[in-house]
Structure 1
Amino acid sequence: MAGSLPPIQVTPIGVIRSVFTDRFGIPRQPNLVTAVEARLILLPPYDREEALDGLDGFSHIWLVFLFHTCIGAGWRPKVRPPRLGGRRKIGVFASRAPYRPNPIGLSAVAYLGSERTTEGLTLRLRGVDLLDGTPVLDIKPYLRYADAIPTASAGFADEPPRADQPVLFTTEAQDQLLRLDPDGARQLRRLIVQTLQLDPRPGYMDRYPERTEFAMRLADLEIGWRQTDRAALVYRVAPAPKEPGACDDSGPIPR
């Protein structure tokens, strides 16, 4: 009987380093925010170059990962996906929510190559939608002929999310950006714009029109903005303590 199967233990092969240091603001699918790179640092004994032999021929890879902040949170048979504005419940197996019997996620991301750094054997990635510190369980090459199905239907998520919200900056925020990223190497402005264009707020926020100010963490920064029905106005870009996000209902689920 299935119920008598013993528990299966898994071991992370690596850890993600990304600019998403808080759950609020993480894009809800991969490849929606591409302004900056992320890194997958392989852990011993998996940090061996021969384990990556042949991977350079692939432009994208699958990451199998753990929603590590949700471990121990329990699973829910029905969830409220952000794509439906948090108003409608659907079965957990019809969603990518983290509240699963096994909190495992799957993301297809761009693979930019590997290098040996002071942190260890590192894979350079783009389009990552993962919290900084996410444990990765496995890597698999993305196969275009098998993994992309043009005729597939996608239920309530048949179209990509809108990413057309105007993002404006106050003069003070522009000055702060210039001080923090004087040569543009960190791509901070592009990162903020791509993230806010997707409107990371929970879908139910339209019930609270009086709340117009929001903040999120990106890398080591805190971004503050005012939300109107027409645009997001960034008024603060300042250093902030690094605090990993938790698995709770206080903000949008990042999937």
Structure 2
Amino acid sequence: MLWQPIGVVHSCFREKFGIPRQPGLAPHARAWIEMDPPYDDPDAFRGLEAFSHLWVAWVFHQNKATRWSPLVRPPRLGGNAKKGVFATRSPYRPNPLGLSVVELVDIQQEAGSVRLLIRGADMVDGTPVIDIKPYIPYADALPEALADFAAEPPRPRLRVTFSEHALDQLRHIDGDSYPDLDRLIVDVLAGDPRPAYRAKEADGEFAMRLYQWDVKWRIEGDRVEVLALEPMPHRTPERGKVGDSP
């Protein structure tokens, strides 16, 4: 059986680096799902407005791995301990499918097409969507369930501040076009977006893309200072730590 996308995600996350490792960890992360014809028929969404959250099934389309491995290294275990791939949510799977619970903010209809405004997404811009289902609390929320190494949500590890230069830049950014941008930056950086195997290495400067901005920041111990928000250059910049290769 062949699957085909029914829509695409337009996300504030323009690259994989910096995306929270689970949905909901960055509650100010906004995105929308643009539905493809013929799945953009408004009738297909009749009644969805009565639900607050959605399950979104999607594809890790930027996964460059050509082979899967039975053992992977979950970031929650420091990137060193190995677990079976089916005991994790690693993107490196036999079928690179993701599954996320997101908040449904709005259902927008225009010229007979539909797009869904969502919040708390953990998907990169351009992610293909395979399916959408309503989240049903009595069936989908199981507080007594066991979850081994991921029983509790990760605690914010870093304290985030902004330089005067970054604050001045934020003041000149259109808040209607980029709502809660400062809070989104704090959501992402407080959880330490560095790969787990690099989290203990020397402090330094890093960069990531949010919306159309290159956000530059510096880590010193357990503190992060946002240095600047620069418009994205036309060329593809280096990712992650400043000075590293892509």
> Is 1:232 the equivalent of 2:220?
no
> Is 1:73 the equivalent of 2:78?
no
CA distance in 2, matches of 1:146, 1:199: 32
User: How many residue pairs get matched?
Assistant: 239
CA distance in 2, matches of 1:225, 1:72: 29
Post-superposition CA distance 1:166-211 (Å, at most 9, x none): 11111111112122246795321111111111111112224521x4
What SS class does the counterpart of residue 172 from structure 2 fall into? helix
Taking a change above 3 Å as real, the CA distance of residues 119 and 54 of structure 1, as seen in their structure-2 partners, is closer
What residue is the counterpart of 2:209 in the other structure?
217
**1:36 Cα deviation from its structure 2 partner:** 4.1
What residue is the counterpart of 1:88 in the other structure?
81
For normalisation by structure 2, the TM-score amounts to 0.90
Q: Give the conservation status (yes or no) of the 8 Å contact 1:219–1:242.
A: no
What SS class does the counterpart of residue 161 from structure 1 fall into? coil
Taking a change above 3 Å as real, the CA distance of residues 243 and 29 of structure 1, as seen in their structure-2 partners, is farther
What SS class does the counterpart of residue 186 from structure 1 fall into? coil
- Within 5 Å, give how 1:125-144 maps onto structure 2: 125-144=118-137
CA distance in 2, matches of 1:71, 1:183: 35
> Is 1:198 the equivalent of 2:196?
no
For normalisation by structure 1, the TM-score amounts to 0.87
Q: Which amino acid aligns with 1:32?
A: L
Taking a change above 3 Å as real, the CA distance of residues 226 and 114 of structure 1, as seen in their structure-2 partners, is same
RMSD: 2.4
What residue is the counterpart of 1:31 in the other structure?
24
- Within 5 Å, give how 1:51-70 maps onto structure 2: 51-70=44-63
CA distance in 2, matches of 1:13, 1:183: 28
Give ranges in structure 2 of 5+ residues lacking alignment. Answer: 242-246
Q: Structure with the greater relative contact order (CA < 8 A, sep ≥ 6): 1 or 2?
A: 1
Q: Which amino acid aligns with 1:214?
A: F
- Within 5 Å, give how 1:87-106 maps onto structure 2: 87-106=80-99
What residue is the counterpart of 2:107 in the other structure?
114
CA distance in 1, matches of 2:48, 2:139: 17
Taking a change above 3 Å as real, the CA distance of residues 98 and 40 of structure 1, as seen in their structure-2 partners, is same
Give ranges in structure 1 of 5+ residues lacking alignment. Answer: 1-7, 251-255
What residue is the counterpart of 2:2 in the other structure?
9
Q: Which amino acid aligns with 2:228?
A: R
CA distance in 2, matches of 1:207, 1:51: 48
